[in-house]
Amino acid sequence: MGAQVGVLLLVQLLAQVEQQMQGELKPELPADLGKGDGGRMGLMETKESSPSRLPAELQDEDLLFPGFENISLLAWPCGQQAIPTRVMGGMDAERGRWPWQGSLRLWGFHSCGASLLNRRWVLSAAHCFEKNSDPYEWTVQFGELSAMPSIWNLQAYFNRYQVEDIILSPMYLGASAYDIALLRLSSSVTYNKYIQPICVLASSTEFQNRSNCWVTGWGNIEEDKDLPSPYTLQEVKVGIINTTMCNNLYSQPIFSYDIWGDMICAGDVQGGKDACFGDSGGPLTCEKKGLWYQVGVVSWGVGCGRPNRPGVYTNVSRHFNWIRMLMAHSDIHRSDTWLLLLLLCD
């Protein structure tokens, strides 16, 4: 027993040292990041990167869903749209076009975006929970276009699920790197044509420089303009901007910030196409061979849609192993920090 305790203490110590080393490499978040009180989150009321820990044998075709290495995480096909995507940007979405999109709700009000990975697991941004991490005060709504469905819409409330556990990346230190969170729901999601999971790849390199990816959410439609009633889900077509170019854009004399390896940039260098406040935690998705994959999680940006200031997202593929291991060990809770760190260092 004593030896086991010693091993666990050693694992914790090594993980703490790794966190400190990563923290020394990570710059402070500038005050004018457009982050407000937490990235691009919002509460709607009535009005250097993480080094890859993926095995070498994981190639682009190795899907996380459904199943990986005899781990059956999902019985339903992922990444399928009920309605084909049209070429548009910054406009209302149609129901069924983004069936994995979730509205993460604090005390019943929309606060952040989220995406459905399987019947019990949801992906979002860690900074959404900086002020409140009590899972029992959070729910996730699926299958609805409006962030504020009518009180007479009983189906909307039937498709609202209680969060059971919130697990932030152990490497998240309150700034913008490692801005990712997994949520376990207290009950299983019922799939239909309007509620389906998104796919995830171990590598997103093939999506570099793609100009036809999409970001969705219920955030502001302009930097200083809230989404108006009836609060319909918005979709905008964006391009993936390679890390070198994005670093150059964020290395101007009046503003400088490093884009690390667990971040990915998307938008339009001319401006006008971007996520905004209230979109935090939502998905950046790209299509491949008829299926849709989540490439990023809305994380932060400087304002919204400004020229030469593309949106910055958490690169989901950099956290692939962490996601896979957590979902495979469904008995993990956020209090099991040593086990989370052990999985990361595996």
Domain extent listing, the chain: 99-197+319-344
Q: Which amino acid is at 338?
A: W
Q: What is the pLDDT of residue 41?
A: 63
CATH of region 99-197+319-344, choose from 2.40.10.10, 2.40.50.140, 3.30.420.300, 3.80.10.10: 2.40.10.10
Dihedral pair phi/psi, residue 227, rounded to 5°: -65, 125
Q: What is the pLDDT of residue 69?
A: 35
Taking only the tens of pLDDT, the chain with its 346 residues reads 544 444 344 334 434 433 443 333 333 333 334 333 346 665 544 333 332 232 332 233 333 444 343 333 444 589 888 776 543 346 899 999 999 999 999 999 999 999 999 999 999 999 999 999 999 999 999 999 999 998 888 888 899 999 999 999 999 988 779 999 999 999 999 999 999 999 999 987 778 888 899 999 999 988 888 998 999 999 999 999 998 999 999 987 777 788 888 999 999 988 889 899 899 999 999 999 899 999 999 999 888 989 989 999 999 999 999 999 999 876 555 545 444 554 454 4
179 catalytically annotated: yes
Q: What is the pLDDT of residue 330?
A: 66
Active-site entry in 280, 299, 317, 319: 280
Active-site entry in 103, 115, 127, 319: 127
Active-site entry in 165, 179, 268, 274: 179
Distance of CA 182 to CAs 86, 102, 332, Å?
30, 13, 11
In the chain, DSSP finds a helix count (H) and a strand count (E) of 5, 15
Residues 6 or more apart from 121 whose CB is under 8 A from it? 182, 183, 184, 185, 326, 327
Neighbour tally for 275: CB within 10 Å? 33
280 catalytically annotated: yes
Q: Distance between CA 329 and CA 264 in Å, rounded?
A: 28
Three-state SS at 340 = helix
127 catalytically annotated: yes
Q: What is the DSSP string of 31-51?
A: TTSS-TTSTT--------PPP
